[in-house]
Amino acid sequence: MVGVLEGEENQERLDLVVQGSRKALLLTGNVRQAAGSVCALVPPQEKIHRVSSAAGAGLTVSLHVYGADFAKCGSSMNEVFDDALVQTDVTTAETGDRLSWREHP
């Protein structure tokens, strides 16, 4: 669950795909959340997302609640991807096969 308390947050949703012999992150959607809004990232989606303040120079405060036992997994961040993997200029037909980051680290 992601809730915005103050300001606005931009959330980019991404899919991990294979293009030929390399992996890429395909931008599949953008969600702009204003103060007071809440959204859920629910499996079976891969939940790969990138967040940034959409409030310009203003302050954004958001609360991200994850349903994992961090005593066992150690962090809310399952995987960190390099920004260079993000592809915004390809169509779904060009993407190749979708991958699970859980199965293909």
- DSSP conformational letter for 76: S
Q: What is the pLDDT of residue 23?
A: 78
Question: Residue 2 — very low, low, confident or very high, per pLDDT cuts 50/70/90?
Answer: confident
Q: What is the pLDDT of residue 45?
A: 54
Using one digit for the tens of pLDDT, what is the confidence trace for 10-64? Answer: 888 888 887 777 778 888 888 889 999 998 876 555 578 888 888 776 889 999 8
The percent of the chain in helix, strand and coil, each rounded to the nearest 5, is: 10, 45, 45
Asked if 53 contacts 88 with a C-beta cutoff of 8 angstroms, the reply is no
Q: What is the pLDDT of residue 100?
A: 63
24 residue type, one letter:
A
pTM comes to 0.67
Q: What is the pLDDT of residue 30?
A: 86
